[in-house]
Amino acid sequence: MIYMLLFLEFFKTGLFAVGGGLATLPFLQNISDKYGWFTSQELIDMIAISESTPGPIGINMATYVGYKTAYLPGAVIAILGLVTPSVIIIVLIAHYYMKFNEHPMVQAGFYGLRPAVAGLIGAAGFEVAKLSLFNTNKYLLTQKFADIVNIKSLLLFAVIVFLLNKYKKHPIYFLLGAAVIGIIFKY
Amino acid sequence: MKSKSQLKLLLEIFTVFFKIGSFTFGGGFAMIPLIEKEVVENKKWVAEEEVVDVFAVAQSMPGAIAINSATFIGYKISGKIGAIIATTGVVLPSFLIITLIAIFFSRFQDAVVVKSVFSGIRPAIVGLISTAAIKVAKASIVDKTGIMLAILSIVLVVILDIQAVFIILGGAAVGLTVYCLFPEKTAKILSNGGKKD
């Protein structure tokens, strides 16, 4: 039963996540909320691992989530679910030589869809920020306003954003740097 | 049809896409130059003009860009079997590497060092995602309607917890509605840079 659900959820993700690896993130957050197969905290760690290993981010995430949920068969099924819509759509387009993406209606659809995707990724970032930059739980416990924000994390976030925009190096370098900082300053 | 030469071709397709899957960090866009080099320059399976079409379709259709490109090119070389072989090849390295990591990580995730590594990485991930969101926004928002749609989708997701599927479908519906109401104006926007580059 869990295999069926896993396949369906990833089929849905593969069908609707337009615009690259991180576009799968809102769907995965949704899966986490709905089924509790993995926590949002684990999801963030999965992003880190997917970004620092070779291969498409979406596939890496699917493998990890699938494995976490139902081990090896889970990983295989999650990948199959994610890939199936792509294979069907692309084979149809290639077979009929459809200039599908040049049709004005399709372009008009994408004209509205793309900004929505930008918003979705932004919202996903916000969810991740809630977990890693703010300590809402600690605040509820201590009721001290200063405890809401994790100053060290916020500082690190600001530095990374600045460096990312200044030096357009591959994310893996920044993640490595952040890992070293994590060890040195022992959060 | 399944002669020796075809088996050899399929094996070659598999090897090339396995290589592409193993050596690109950072997903779809990072793969484009490598795919071009292998498939167009080295193997001459697809012409330069054709591969541009492939990437245009791969980017605008749902699913991972790498998967879409692999499926398309595999199909062009050797039909449906080619599509499946190429896709399997590009996916397999991810599957092997991530499964290995997942097996080991679940054993070590409670170690103090691993915990401090990830506490440093998590804020960096927020940085990566927000930078990606800004990049996508710059490439996809061409007018005020776009800005409004992006803000609206953030609000709907963060505050009202609306599912991503409905946001995507809603965005497409707004795009089509605008197109039906103001066909000329929209056509103009779409023709000058309405497309993602």
Residue with tokens 């940085």: B127
Residues A126 and A54 placed together within one structural domain of the fold: yes
Query: What's the ipTM?
Result: 0.81
Do residues A157 and A95 share a domain?
no
Q: For residue B60, what are its two tokens?
A: 């605008």
Domain housing A146: 134-187
Q: Based on the domain organization, do A169 and A90 belong to the same domain?
A: no
Confidence check: pLDDT of B184 > 60: yes
In tens, the pLDDT along A126-137 reads 888 887 888 766
Whether residue A141 is predicted with pLDDT greater than 90 in this model: the reply is no
**Phi, psi angles (nearest 5°) of residue A144:** -95, 125
The pLDDT-based confidence of A186 (bands split at 50, 70, 90) is low
Among the candidates A94, A110, A133, a domain finishes at: A133
How far, in Å, CA of A83 to CA of A61, rounded? 13
Compute the distance between CA of residue B17 and CA of residue B46 in angstroms, rounded to an integer. 14
Number of C-beta neighbours around residue B7 at 10 A: 10
B148 confidence band (pLDDT: 50, 70, 90): very high
Q: Return the pLDDT at A21.
A: 73
d(CA B136, CA B98): 26
For residue A67, how far is the Cα from the chain centroid? 16
Under DSSP, the state recorded for B62 is S
Calculate mean pLDDT across residues B156-185: 89
Q: How many C-alpha atoms does B57 have within 13 Å on its Cβ side?
A: 24
Q: Please check whether residue A102 is in contact with residue A38, taking contact to mean a CB–CB distance below 8 angstroms.
A: no
Q: State residue B15's pLDDT score.
A: 96
Cα B73–Cα B79–Cα B84 angle in degrees, nearest 5:
70
Q: What is the pLDDT of residue B195?
A: 46
* Token pair in block for residue B82: 């080619």
- Is B190 near chain A, with CB under 8 Å? yes
Among A105, A133, A161, the domain boundary falls at A133
pLDDT in tens, B37-82: 899 989 999 888 888 888 878 877 888 888 999 999 999 999 999 9
**pLDDT confidence of B193, banded at 50, 70, 90?**
low
Q: Do B149 and A132 touch (CB under 8 A)?
A: no
Report yes or no: B88 at the A interface, CB cutoff 8 Å. no
Question: What share of residues in chain A are helix, strand, coil (percent, to 5)?
Answer: 85, 0, 15
Q: Would you tell me how many other CB atoms lie within 10 Å of the CB of residue B111? A: 10
Domain ranges of chain B: 2-140, 141-197
A150 shares a domain with A89: no
Nearest CA in chain A to B18: A55
Residues A125 and A61 in one domain: yes
Could you give the percent of chain A with pLDDT greater than 90? 32
Q: Is the pLDDT of residue A144 over 90?
A: no
Structure tokens at A43: 């999801």
How far is it, in rounded angstroms, from Cα A182 to Cα B135? 27
Q: What are phi and psi of A54, to 5 degrees?
A: -65, 165
HSE at residue A33, side-chain half, CA atoms within 13 A, is: 12
Asked if residue A117 and residue A77 are part of one domain, the reply reads: yes
- Structurally, chain A folds into a number of domains equal to 2
Please tell me the distance from the alpha carbon of residue A135 to that of residue A122, in angstroms, as a whole number. Answer: 20
Q: How confident is the model at residue B192 (pLDDT cuts 50, 70, 90)?
A: low
Based on the fold, state whether residues A84 and A118 are members of the same structural domain: yes
Are A59 and A144 in the same domain?
Answer: no
CB A56 within 8 A of CB B67: yes
Nearest by CB to residue A48, choosing from B106, B121, B147, is B121
Q: Which residues of A touch B80 (CB under 8 A)?
A: 91
Nearest to B75 by CA among B13, B27, B21, B31: B13
Residue B8's pLDDT is what? 95
Which one of B128, B152, B159, B165 makes the best mutation probe of the A interface by having the most chain A beta carbons within 10 Å?
B128
